[in-house]
Amino acid sequence: MTAGAVAVRRDGRISGALYLVVVLAGMFCLAYVPSKLGASPAGASAHADLFRAGIAAFLLMQVAFLLLPFALYRVLGDVNRQAAVLMVALAAVSVPIGLVAVTHRMEALSLLEGAPGTASDAMEAAFALCLQRYGHGLRIASLFWGLWLLPFGWLVLRSGRLPRVLAACLLLGGVGYVVQVFGGLWPGIADAGWMAYVRMPAAIGEIGSCLWLLAFGARPGLQRSSTD
């Protein structure tokens, strides 16, 4: 095995480790925590430590997600430099949006800490507003969580450094994110049953890519000119 192939595999495993942090932290703060807390101050107060842990996990996810595309650039940058730069830019843009969004979650935590016991109507309204603003921020961030998958999936497809079935899932998942963000602006579309499934290819592609990179690294694959 050449030194270049060894480096590609090593960089692939580093990317996989960062991806694992993003996946696990994201599942915890975006799925598990909301399912346990609900949207009321009472639920959040009863699980205040879980509420705090969700914020911490979200911050960890953002740090890992900022580093991840740079690690993937080392794996895929020689396939097509312009597409790799676009991949990094689209992923990185989502991080400050996500960090601004989570400040509203922190404001909600401050409300809980400042008003222990039974919540007043004003406090419940302020708490709901914080969560609403957090949700709006996540919607904008999720647009870029989808868009970055398009150049990422295309680079995987061209390079052959990961299974091409994962590339197809990444591309379909990127489109699914975009459809969900824009479709969610219209109630008739947002409430459609099929909207619950449009991001499923992204979940398969991202978790699959994470596990493949972690276990095997990236295959040397096809070599491309950086300006191709």
Confidence of residue 221 (pLDDT cuts 50, 70, 90): low
Q: What is the pTM of this model?
A: 0.89
What is the number of structural domains in the chain? 1
**Unique residue bearing structure tokens 């150049």:** 151
225 pLDDT band, cuts 50/70/90, is very low
Q: Is residue 225 part of a domain?
A: no
Instruction: List the one residue out of 70, 76, 60, 75 whose CA is nearest residue 90.
Output: 70
Q: Is the pLDDT of residue 182 over 50?
A: yes
Tell me whether residue 80 is in a domain.
Answer: yes
C-alpha 30/C-alpha 27 separation (Å) is 6
Q: Taking residues 147-167, what's their average pLDDT?
A: 95
Whether residue 23 lies inside any domain: the answer is yes
DSSP secondary structure letter of residue 148: T
Cβ pair 138, 100 in contact under 8 A: no
pLDDT of residue 219: 81
Yes or no: say if 48 and 104 are a contact pair by the CB < 8 Å rule. Answer: no
- Spatial distance between the Cα atoms of 142 and 174, rounded to a whole number of angstroms: 10
Q: Is residue 226 part of a domain?
A: no
Report phi then psi at 191, rounded to 5: -90, 0
Note whether residue 18 is domain-resident.
yes
Range of the domain at 190: 3-216
Answer whether 146's CB lies under 8 Å from 175's CB: yes
**Is the residue at 62 inside a domain?**
yes
What percent of the chain shows pLDDT beyond 90? Answer: 68
Asked if residue 63 is part of any domain, the answer here is yes
Q: What is the pLDDT of residue 114?
A: 74
Question: Stretch 114-122: mean pLDDT, rounded?
Answer: 69
